[in-house]
Structure 1
Amino acid sequence: MSDESAAERRLRVLEAVTDSTLMEFDLDKLLEVLLWRVRELFDVDTVTVLFVDSSGERLVARASAGLGEEVFQGVRVPIGSGFAGRVARLRAPVRIERVDPSTVVNPILWERGLRGLLGVPMVAQGEMVGVMHIGSTTPRTFTDDDIELLRLVADRLAMAAYLYRSRSEQAAAAVLVDSLLPTRLPTTPGWELAARYVPGAEIGVGGDWYDVFPLPGDRIGVVMGDVVGNGLPAAIVMGRLRSALRAYALEFDDPAVVLGKLDRKASHFERTTMATVAYAIVDTAAARMHLSLAGHLPPVIVVPGEEARFVEAPVGLPVGYGLAVTGRPVVTVDIPPGALVTFYTDGLVERRDADIDERLEQLRATVRPGAPEAVCARVMAELVGSEAATDDIALVAVHHLG
């Protein structure tokens, strides 16, 4: 290719990826338009984009110009395996001039008679998004110039996919968390409850959750949990843990046993998951609470005529990775008439520019006897105020009227 024609193709590729009209398209339309432009600009027979799936272990064909079967048949390629998998593992361009079972894992590619392939990684914000590859049915050696130009297109699509996925995942996570939070809190004579949930301003919805549910025998279950991580993956795990804990709560009366069962479940089925959980069973007839903490901050209790204090309870290991093999501790705490117990997640007290011990003391000093709605409002005003929290926050107050 002459210098003049190479310069002309470079200009056309740059025009294609910087076309302002593409800003108006959603991701599917953007993929469709750009892939057909790439097929023409590079004079190839196929152009395919594969995205990394939610597990981070496989590539899934998302769009193609010339080999629609890859998308229609749901082609999946393990990262590190075959042609596209090697591109993803190396995070570097790969070109091959022989397409057969020894070089690719997808039979569609050699069955369609492809003779040469060039693949480049799609990386945005340091995150592996996917792989883009082009192929020719005639013998062809892809050049360094081909690699450079294809990477320009891949970078453009990678950022678009990254932003689209971030927005869509946050929207899905918000809907999921909203559907899992209690629509109304239990009503029990002599007891009042109130709650708050606020997603983090920077990370959006994460893995924090609270749950309050009635149990047989004049009892109320109160859960406060925080899954490590954020976004849709953390919200999905949170939903699973929430459902499992509810099921165990109906079978076992000891909160330590419930958390032990939850730990076993998480360690077996959610092997890369860790969460802190506080689970309390409030016996409204006996006016006492049985509490077990799995790596979670202790609740604050305030009794009329006394200063608020943190419940003296041993903090066991978090849920996940099978850490608590020797069992979990539980304490019993009286909740006399007029007393109030406040549960919370660490998003309420953690700030980058503040000492957590000082923030915990601020929380303790803020909790005073009173109606739980007023207590929640006062705590949020004092510890959140007019500055959005970076992490999500969950808060539950339980008041014994007597």
Structure 2
Amino acid sequence: MARQESSLRWRVLDAVTDASLKDLGLDGLLEVLLERTRELLDTDTVTVLLLDRGATHLVARATAGFQEEVFQGVRVPVGKGFAGRVAQSGNPVQIEHVDESTVVNPLLWEHGLRVLLGVPMIAEGELIGVVHVGSTTARRFSEEEVDALRLVADRLAMAVYVDRMRSERTAAALLQESLLPPSLPSTRGWELAARYVPGAGSSVGGDWYDVFELPGDRMGVVIGDVVGSGLRAAVVMGRLRSALRAYALDYPDPADVLAKLDRKASHFEHDTMATVGYAVVDRASHRMRVSVAGHLPPVLALPGHAAAFADVPVDPPVGFDLATSGRRGTDIDLPPGALLVLYTDGLVERRDQDLDAGLERLRGVVTATDPEALCAQIMATMVGDRPAADDVALVALRHR
């Protein structure tokens, strides 16, 4: 018996480490491994349920045996029923009585299953889902069979995890690319340039810049940073960007726009916070009104003068209803030759230096010159040949 059980472990190891699996996509790998698992454990069904984005339900993703589970989009609440117990406990669960009192999914008892064994799928310390096997004949799964299913679960969890990371990076990069302005407005008497670079180890994050035309010979300029990184931050960034553009058409004062954005984020974007700087340039009066929500102040350079940080009040970030006393706007003159730089903290923050030192380096390199050349000089000075740990967004505007 011990020799047979040892043989089972080695056969499962051979199955999950088969070099040919690496050439398969996720769907192909699931199909092959689930069928092999059903044969090796001599069961009637094997099913993978993956944890949804809200971490509240398990959703049938693949099966060998009862295809209806996938076709019908079976969902099991975490903590309820058989699979829900496996997910909540993080431990193997075996039951020898399958009906509505022990299992949420009626397909399982309708097909005559009598026993079920399920184990959690965990990768990088994160619950990915549950894999369970079932049999229509009465039996007791041995400890060796439980360990064998754990080996399968570990391989499946890592495959799903890697596929998700790859998919998220691709989706986030495409989302970020679609949301950044494809080109900057070309308007007589004003010049614009911008940069966006994702942080090291990430293809995208929550930083963004935006420039758009407004009625009345006005122009909106935005710089923002959603707390977090990856696809989730990029999605939130996209929603905030779209909302800010909509509010900008109805409210001429940037402070009012950020107040509305704060209300929207606080109500709909739970557990999300963002820093934002929003300026409206009136090209006729050569003045700008700016409001800052938790963001670093812009840098202003005038011809014949050293650059300085704009004297603007910094209100609380957007989200969590933090600005209980309201938001403030400041008017700034932009005479001919004036240049303004807006940026995210990834440009000036480094782990090995004080933030004030980074801000001073930036101030020192800003001059009232061509925005495109200045952006190149800023990136060369502030980033150089070392990848930034965080995303960098940068916009330069000059009144020519």
Q: TM-score range by the shorter chain?
A: over 0.9
Contact 1:202 1:391 in 2 (8 A): no
Contact 1:313 1:331 in 2 (8 A): yes
**Who is 2:365 aligned against?**
366
CA distance in 2, matches of 1:80, 1:48: 18
Report deviation, 1:395.
0.5
**Who is 2:216 aligned against?**
217
**Who is 2:142 aligned against?**
143
Which range moves more in the overlay, 293-302 or 34-43?
293-302
**Which residue identity is paired with 2:66?**
L
Report deviation, 1:346.
1.2
Structure 1 spans left out of the alignment, 5+ residues: none
CA deviation vs aligned residue, 1:271-298 (integer Å, no higher than 9, x gap): 1221111111111111111111111111
1:1-400 to 2 correspondence within 5 Å? 2-400=1-399
CA deviation vs aligned residue, 1:15-67 (integer Å, no higher than 9, x gap): 00111111111111001100000001111111111112222322221111112
Report deviation, 1:202.
1.1
Contact 1:59 1:85 in 2 (8 A): yes
CA deviation vs aligned residue, 1:369-388 (integer Å, no higher than 9, x gap): 10100110000000111111
Aligned length: 400
Report deviation, 1:317.
1.4
CA distance in 1, matches of 2:317, 2:58: 32
Counterpart secondary structure, 1:399? strand
Q: TM-score normalized by structure 2? A: 0.97
Report deviation, 1:323.
2.1
CA distance in 1, matches of 2:167, 2:242: 24
CA distance in 1, matches of 2:63, 2:142: 22
Which range moves more in the overlay, 334-343 or 318-327?
318-327
Counterpart secondary structure, 1:44? coil
**Which residue identity is paired with 1:272?**
D
CA distance in 1, matches of 2:105, 2:305: 70
Report deviation, 1:79.
2.1
User: Structure 1 pair 100/326, CA: closer, same or farther in 2 (3 Å)?
Assistant: farther
CA distance in 1, matches of 2:36, 2:314: 59
Which range moves more in the overlay, 262-271 or 215-224?
262-271
CA deviation vs aligned residue, 1:229-275 (integer Å, no higher than 9, x gap): 11111111111111111111101111111111111111222112211
CA distance in 2, matches of 1:322, 1:104: 43
CA distance in 2, matches of 1:294, 1:81: 43
Report deviation, 1:78.
2.3
Counterpart secondary structure, 2:303? coil
**Which residue identity is paired with 1:175?**
L
Which range moves more in the overlay, 240-249 or 284-293?
284-293
CA distance in 1, matches of 2:136, 2:26: 28
CA distance in 1, matches of 2:315, 2:118: 49
Counterpart secondary structure, 1:9? helix
**Which residue identity is paired with 2:359?**
L
**Which residue identity is paired with 2:116?**
L
CA distance in 2, matches of 1:75, 1:297: 48
Report deviation, 1:77.
2.0
Report deviation, 1:177.
0.7
Contact 1:120 1:151 in 2 (8 A): yes
**Which residue identity is paired with 2:9?**
R
**Which residue identity is paired with 2:379?**
M
Counterpart secondary structure, 1:223? strand
Counterpart secondary structure, 2:91? coil
Which range moves more in the overlay, 362-371 or 312-321?
312-321
Report deviation, 1:115.
1.5
Contact 1:203 1:390 in 2 (8 A): no
Counterpart secondary structure, 2:97? coil
CA deviation vs aligned residue, 1:304-362 (integer Å, no higher than 9, x gap): 12211111222211112222233212111111211111011111112222222111111
Counterpart secondary structure, 1:89? helix
Counterpart secondary structure, 2:119? strand
Contact 1:303 1:369 in 2 (8 A): yes
Counterpart secondary structure, 1:292? strand
Report deviation, 1:190.
1.0
Counterpart secondary structure, 2:76? strand
Provide the aligned C-alpha RMSD in A. Answer: 1.3
Counterpart secondary structure, 2:213? strand
Aligned identity (percent) is 64
**Which residue identity is paired with 1:169?**
E
Report deviation, 1:101.
2.1
Report deviation, 1:189.
1.4
